């Protein structure tokens, strides 16, 4: 019965034994992938003025991007950031296909540049792995599999620590690691749970993430069209495929010798010669494999290459100036630049000022009119501030009810203040006033409010 269940599972899942990739594109992919991994592993631990380079503190509701602290009040930056990511995905896919998946997606990078090379190292290349599968009851095969799974779990544990560092910060993670388990049971359980999820994904789920789970892959068919550059097989050049034989002289054959190497090397197990498929993650491994064959046969490279479907339909392989690609790329650059400006010009202090509930104006015996306000300030930096307030209109004076203006780092403070105007200076029933919020004589922000005076005093 167990055997029947196993057979049923194996029937359902076509396990992919990808051949070890090699070639110039793979080398480039390694450079990109390992650089991104370095960035991913280092970012929560690098500090800029005491803050991590990147932190997504969902629990604490504190986010740090490039060393700049963001609070829930800065939601607009995140919304804009998310919009840019969305636009990037749509535009990039429309122009360059699924390049994100094969070259920059963490799932692919971890799988293809960490876990799969370890698999090759322990269990051997595709041929050996297929042999192992046939001999799966042998102790030597089992021993290698167990060793592989142990190494996979250790790496998953390491990734889980990094993941947690993004959520709670490197210091809190270090505290969990160095303290007795009983003191941080929640943290410890989280690390184990994340480790298990990563282990399960990379040891078992693998390519199913890209082919069945990730919604982006499913969106691909709506995002690409005949002008999208995709990884494709040039059937005009390749067909009819086959090896030279008596019945098939070379003159009657295309360039594809049907060696199947492009299929064997594919991490999702598809045959690119059957046309563009949702399972293709644009990893370019089949291009390298086929180029290698073409070089050996002394034929031009790129039988499998970067083509737009219309190029293949029209049988024109010369690269065309794709105006849409240029326009979309320019738009992306502009959006990213706006996002950069939003991040780097964001004020260190955020503040709201509201007229005290139910109040309008008060007349004082010293011949002045006053309005009472509640001011709420948030210090978004990691240094304490001694706040000074100054109206931009010299006719006004400010009197802070609670004159304690020390604003602690990463904290908020509420205070009440009067705006004071001599009666003889009143010119309007309602006057717009801007209040400068300063630290060490430097203006951090200006906030707007209105000042109300009795109509009888208006000249």
Among 10, 252, 258, 314, binds ligand SF4 (CB under 6 A): 258
The Cα-based distances of 82 to 34, 78, 79, 97, 121 in angstroms read 25, 6, 5, 20, 39
Among 105, 109, 280, 389, binds ligand SF4 (CB under 6 A): 280
Which part of the chain contacts ligand SF4 (CB under 6 A), choosing from 119-127, 160-168, 259-267, 349-357?
A: 259-267
Residue 198 Cβ vs ligand SF4, minimum distance, rounded to whole Å = 22
Concatenate the DSSP letters of all residues of 16-77 into one string.
--PPPP-SHHHHHHHHHHHHHHHHHHHTTT-EETTEESEEEETTTTEEEETTEEE-GGGHHH
The burial class, CB within 10 Å (0-12 / 13-18 / 19+), for 53 is middle
Binding flag, residue 65, ligand SF4 (CB under 6 A): no
DSSP letter assigned to residue 184: G
Nearer to ligand SF4, 289 or 444 (CB): 289
Distance of alpha carbon 152 from alpha carbon 165, whole angstroms: 20
Distance of alpha carbon 124 from alpha carbon 144, whole angstroms: 10
Distance of alpha carbon 10 from alpha carbon 254, whole angstroms: 36
Residue 292 Cβ vs ligand SF4, minimum distance, rounded to whole Å = 8
Residue 115 Cβ vs ligand SF4, minimum distance, rounded to whole Å = 16
Binding flag, residue 225, ligand SF4 (CB under 6 A): no
Which part of the chain contacts ligand SF4 (CB under 6 A), choosing from 147-155, 279-287, 326-334, 385-393?
A: 279-287
Among 91, 176, 289, 421, binds ligand SF4 (CB under 6 A): 289
Close Cβ partners of 170 (under 8 Å, ≥ 6 residues apart): 44, 45, 52
- The size of the interface with ligand SF4 (CB under 6 A), counted in residues, is 29
- Residues from 354 through 393 that contact ligand SF4 (CB under 6 A): none
57: tokens are 């503190």
Binding flag, residue 224, ligand SF4 (CB under 6 A): no
Residue 267 Cβ vs ligand SF4, minimum distance, rounded to whole Å = 6
Q: Please list the residues that pair with 413 across neighbouring strands.
A: 377
Q: Is the Cα dihedral 233, 239, 245, 250 positive or negative?
A: negative
Q: What size, in residues, is the chain? A: 459
**Do residues 387 and 347 lie in contact, with contact meaning Cβ atoms separated by under 8 Å?**
no
Residue 30 Cβ vs ligand SF4, minimum distance, rounded to whole Å = 15
Residue 272 Cβ vs ligand SF4, minimum distance, rounded to whole Å = 4
- Residues from 301 through 360 that contact ligand SF4 (CB under 6 A): 303-304
Binding flag, residue 24, ligand SF4 (CB under 6 A): no
- Residues from 143 through 182 that contact ligand SF4 (CB under 6 A): none
**Do residues 255 and 295 lie in contact, with contact meaning Cβ atoms separated by under 8 Å?**
no
Residue 285 Cβ vs ligand SF4, minimum distance, rounded to whole Å = 4
Residue 21 Cβ vs ligand SF4, minimum distance, rounded to whole Å = 8
Q: Which residues bind ligand SF4 (CB under 6 A)?
A: 231, 233, 238, 256-262, 265-268, 270, 272-273, 280-286, 289-290, 293, 303-304
């Amino acid at each position: 019965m167990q055997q029947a269940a196993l057979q049923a599972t194996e029937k359902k899942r076509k396990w992919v034994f990808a051949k070890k990739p090699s070639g110039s594109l793979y080398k480039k992919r390694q450079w990109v992938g390992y650089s991104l991994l370095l960035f991913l592993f280092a970012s929560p631990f690098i500090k800029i003025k005491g803050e991590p380079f990147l932190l997504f503190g969902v629990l604490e509701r504190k986010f740090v991007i490039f060393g700049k602290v963001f609070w829930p009040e800065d939601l607009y930056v995140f919304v804009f950031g998310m919009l840019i990511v969305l636009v990037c995905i749509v535009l990039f896919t429309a122009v360059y296909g699924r390049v994100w998946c094969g070259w920059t997606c963490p799932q692919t990078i971890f799988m293809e540049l960490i876990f799969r090379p370890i698999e090759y190292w322990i269990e051997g290349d595709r041929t050996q792995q297929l042999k192992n599968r046939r001999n799966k009851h042998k102790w030597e095969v089992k021993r290698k599999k167990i060793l592989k799974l142990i190494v996979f779990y250790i790496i998953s544990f390491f990734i889980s620590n990094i993941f947690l560092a993004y959520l709670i910060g490197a210091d809190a993670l270090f505290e969990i690691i160095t303290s007795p388990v009983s003191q941080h049971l929640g943290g410890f359980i989280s690390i184990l749970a994340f480790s298990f999820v990563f282990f399960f994904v990379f040891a078992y789920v693998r390519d199913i993430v890209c082919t069945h789970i990730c919604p982006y892959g499913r969106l691909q068919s709506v995002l690409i069209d005949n002008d999208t550059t995709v990884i494709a097989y040039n059937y005009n050049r390749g067909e009819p495929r086959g090896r030279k034989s008596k019945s098939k002289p070379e003159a009657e054959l295309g360039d594809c010798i049907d060696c199947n190497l492009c299929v064997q090397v594919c991490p999702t197990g598809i045959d690119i010669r059957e046309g563009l498929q949702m399972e293709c993650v644009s990893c370019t491994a089949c291009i390298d494999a086929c180029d290698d064959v073409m070089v050996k046969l002394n034929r031009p490279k790129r039988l499998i290459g970067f083509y737009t479907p219309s190029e293949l339909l029209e049988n024109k392989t010369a690269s065309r100036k794709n105006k849409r690609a240029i326009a979309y790329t320019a738009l992306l650059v502009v959006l990213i630049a706006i996002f950069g400006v939003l991040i780097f010009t964001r004020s260190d202090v955020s503040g709201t000022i509201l007229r005290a509930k139910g109040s309008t104006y008060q007349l004082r015996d010293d011949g002045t009119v006053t309005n009472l306000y509640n001011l709420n300030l948030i210090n978004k930096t990691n240094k304490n501030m001694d706040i000074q307030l100054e109206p931009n209109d010299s006719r006004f004076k400010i009197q802070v009810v609670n004159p304690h203006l020390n604003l602690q780092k990463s904290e908020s403070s509420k205070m009440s203040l009067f705006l004071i105007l001599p009666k003889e200076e009143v010119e309007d029933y309602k006057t717009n006033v801007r209040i400068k919020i300063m630290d060490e004589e430097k203006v951090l922000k200006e906030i707007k409010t209105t000042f109300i005076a009795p109509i009888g005093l208006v000249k």
